[in-house]
Each structure stands twice: as C-alpha cells, then as structure tokens.
Structure 1
Amino acid sequence: MNSTERTQHWQQHIEHWRDTGLSGAAFCKQQSLSYHQFAYWRRKLEDVVDATDTERVPTSGFARVTHVAASPVSGDLTLRLPGGMTITGLHAGNVELLGAVLRQL
C-alpha cells in the first residue's frame, strides 16, 4: 500500500468513526483496528484540515491565556480550559483544589 492509499484508507476509517458516535477506542475494537494507529492518523488528518483554517488552535499542548476583566462583585477566580470547561469559585481558601482538579484531567 503506497502513501496515498494508506491516507485514503485511514480517511475512510475516520469518516466512518465520526458517523458511528462511538469513542475512538470502542470503534477500533469493533473494527479490529490498532487504536494507536487510529489516533495517529486522526491527529494527522485533522492537522491537514486545520492547516487551511485561519483560526487554527495550536496543538503544542499549551493553552492560550487571555486576560478577562475582574468582576467587581466577586473576588473568585474563574478558569476556562480548552474544550469549553470552566472552573469557577476558586479563591485563596480553596486554591489547592485547583491542582487536584487539574491532575485529574
């Protein structure tokens, strides 16, 4: 199988996976595919698609940090993570909780 055929092969698997609604691991088990190869090709093919997007999200493992004006009503910290998750209500009395939460992610 040459490079183009291999790319098409994995593109078809990834498109089929998206249609199923299954997790990547469950899909690979059902289709007798290597999950590690599946994850590699999914990431590789998504990077090719994302390269044409002008607002591409970096895949470096770092999150973009932006300054948000503090609300005068509350002194609590709000943390917005990639993927839309928001952690609110952190303050000096429970900031240790943030470390424990982030280690679980």
Structure 2
Amino acid sequence: MTTHERQQYWQQQMADWQASNLSGAAFCKQHALSYHQFVYWRQKLTHDDHAQPDVVAGFAKVTPLQSSHSPAELTLSLPGGVSITGLHAGNINLLGSILRQL
C-alpha cells in the first residue's frame, strides 16, 4: 500500500469513526484496527487539517537610548512589547545569544 493509499484508508476510517459515535477504542475493537495506529493517524490527519502557516520572522527595531548617563546604550524593542535595554558594545555578544534563543 502506498503512502497516499494508506492516508486515504485512514481518512475513511476517521470519517467512519466520527459517524459511529463510538469511542476510539470501541471503534478499533469493532473493526479489528490497531488502536495505536488509530491514534497516530487521528493526530496526523487532524494536525494536517489544522496546520497553521509558519510564522515569518522579521526585523526588530533597535533604537538608541536617549539618556544623558550613557549615550552609547541601545534599547531593543521586540514585537509583543518586550524590550531589552542597556545594550552597548561591551555586551553585544549577549544580544546575539539572546536573539538566537528567540
């Protein structure tokens, strides 16, 4: 059985299961199906049906901090209201490490 045929088979099984009003375990027992495979395909097909588009990464705005104390500091404002302040040439490697974690 090809992958496409297997997917069609399990799509039909899921449709039959939903129409049956049985629990997954009862449906599998009644139709001599592996419950493990049933759960796998239910998750796979449900995930494929509700797949969300990938989030596209963008640029974050970096602005100089307007302060008389240290004019060389920067503030990084990220989407969602998160800001990282106190960035300067001495800790720029820290900023790189933070951004790689996002």
In the superposition, the TM-score normalised over structure 2's length comes to 0.50
Within the alignment, does 1:12 sit opposite 2:12 as a pair?
A: yes
Alignment match, 2:49: 49
Distance 1:46 1:52 in 2: 12
Q: Which runs of 5+ in 2 are unaligned?
A: 54-102
Percent identical among aligned pairs is: 55
Counterparts of 1:39 and 1:15 in 2: how far apart (Å)? 14
Letter in 2 for 1:17: W
Count of residues paired in the alignment: 53
**In structure 2, what is the equivalent of residue 67 of structure 1?**
none
Normalised by the length of structure 1, the TM-score is 0.49
Question: Which residues in structure 2 correspond to 1:22-101 (within 5 Å)?
Answer: 22-51=22-51
RMSD value over aligned CA atoms? 1.3
Would you identify which runs of 4 or more consecutive aligned residues in structure 1 move more than 4 Å? none
Shift of 1:52: 5.1
